[in-house]
Amino acid sequence: MRLSRFFMPILKENPKEAEIVSHRLMLRAGMIRQQSAGIYSWLPLGKRVLDKVNAIIREEQDRSGANEILMPTIQSADLWMESGRYNDYGKEMLRIRDRQERPMLFGPTNEEMVTDIFRGYVKSYKNLPLNLYHIQWKFRDEVRPRFGTMRSREFLMKDAYSFDLTREGAIHSYNKMFAAYLRTFHRLGLRAIPMRADTGPIGGNHSHEFIIFADTGESEVFCHKDFVHFDIPAADTDFDDVAGLQSIFDRWTSVYAATSEMHDAAAFDAIPEGDRLSARGIEVGHIFYFGTKYSEPMGAKVLGPDGKEHIVHMGSYGIGPTRLVPAIIEASHDETGIIWPASVAPFDAVLINMKPGDAACDSTCDRLYAALRAAGLDPLLDDTDDRAGAKFATADLIGVPVQVIAGPRSAANGEVELKDRRTGARETLTLEAAINKLTSAR
Ligand code: 5CA
């Protein structure tokens, strides 16, 4: 992509409405635009990162055996009357009527709808276990939408729903998601800690929130500091290995971790003082096992091996992609801007032409740009007429992992400068060596 053709409305001033660093940087880098309170458009730079986050989530859901579907945003109120949640959900639900005056709603979550899909087709235990997920917009009319897309009213959620014949089966399905979440957050460059959590309007009594530490987090969390050393499940984890997955779960829940709602001060105080960690955190995912809370009132049952009907056991598993983008920024930035982990960076490298019009600078940048693209990389070429200082500031702000700088003098010598955005380390290389270095990392 050439920056001269890329829509990236950078703000020079710090936006006044932004209280936390991720919101400020997302607005300054032209990633998002607020359309009304808690409702955002995603502009090209932000959309690129969001798509990368979604792709990682999807790969790990698929790896665990879940099936992707896409349910609508608009739901009929009838389904929610069946489960009994239509009245319970309160003002957070956006209720609407169609032209026939039928009550509809903008989905805040999809337990009812997915249970309706399930009961329409699945009649035998032989089709279980089943996990259906989608990545779709949700709407919750939050009292206090704030911090940009961190707590918005319209937000993207990956929500997965598992169906099993028995409670034991459902616990295995829960453990699959637990392991998939550990892998997902790790690949996003985050260390997320599973903590015992309150279940709120989703229900059930077996639930974990995945929390990352950040001073600006909305939750107060307490845990043992051993979490920092726990291993992430490997890419070749066998998700059908019941005992293997249970041992991952057992290990990751073997030491104390809880959010303030579930906090047990006595248990926490029993941990040696030097091993206690109390901090603020951001909830990036939340998983629930709630048994037959929806399947029972909605009649989702299958024939078991005993020839009898059984109400299925269910769980649901949420991740917030539009929250993850600011959460990653909270975890990874400095005073000059964002520092993306390579896995979600909007571009692989930014090529800074310090003097467009200079023959050596232009040809160096063109060669680099073509070579990186030929190797399957996605570079951003800053070919604008901005001053060099402004170009450096933009490159730092948007946080692309590598900067390649072509100035008139070095370009005339066949050289470029590479800058690592995270460490700030710089090195001068020949053009060929720079291309080799960038493409061999693939
Ligand atoms: N049905 C269940 C799980 S599928 C559910 O709705 N869970 S939840 O309420 O905990 O939401 C799941 C995830 O969505 C949260 O962990 C969070 O990452 C994200 N999320 C929830 N509310 C918001 C919001 N207002 N803004 C941005 N992300 C949100």
Q: Any idea where the domains of the chain sit in the sequence?
A: 7-338, 349-440
Q: What is the pLDDT of residues 87-139, one digit of tens each?
A: 999 999 999 999 999 999 999 999 999 999 999 999 999 999 999 999 999 99
Query: Which residue has the least CA distance to atom 27 on ligand 1?
Result: 151
Report whether 283 contacts 207 (CB < 8 A): no
User: Which of the listed residues 157, 283, 316 should we mutate to test ligand 1's pocket, taking the one with most ligand atoms within 8 A of CB?
Assistant: 157
pLDDT digits (tens, 9 = 90+) for 373-427: 999 999 999 999 999 999 999 999 999 999 999 999 999 999 999 999 999 999 9
Residue nearest to atom 16 of ligand 1 (CA): 285
Q: Which structure tokens are listed for 39? A: 């409702």
Residue-averaged pLDDT of the chain: 96
Pocket lined around ligand 1, Cβ cut-off 6 Å: 109, 140, 142, 151-152, 155, 157, 159, 202, 283-286, 316-320, 322-323
Distance, CA of 166 to CA of 173 (rounded, Å):
11
Fold of the CATH domain 349-440: Rossmann fold (3.40.50)
pLDDT of residue 442: 65
User: What residue owns the CA closest to ligand 1's atom 20?
Assistant: 320
**Ligand 1 atom 19 nearest Cα:** 320
CATH architecture of 7-338: 2-Layer Sandwich (3.30)
Question: For residue 65, how many other CB atoms are within 10 A of its CB?
Answer: 15
- Do 7-338 and 349-440 come out as alike in CATH topology? no
Please provide residue 150's backbone torsions phi and psi, each rounded to the nearest 5 degrees.
-65, -45
- Predicted local confidence at residue 441, as pLDDT: 74
- How far, in Å, CA of 211 to CA of 9, rounded? 32
Cα distance between residue 1 and residue 406, in whole Å = 17
pLDDT band at 228 (very low <50, low <70, confident <90, very high): confident
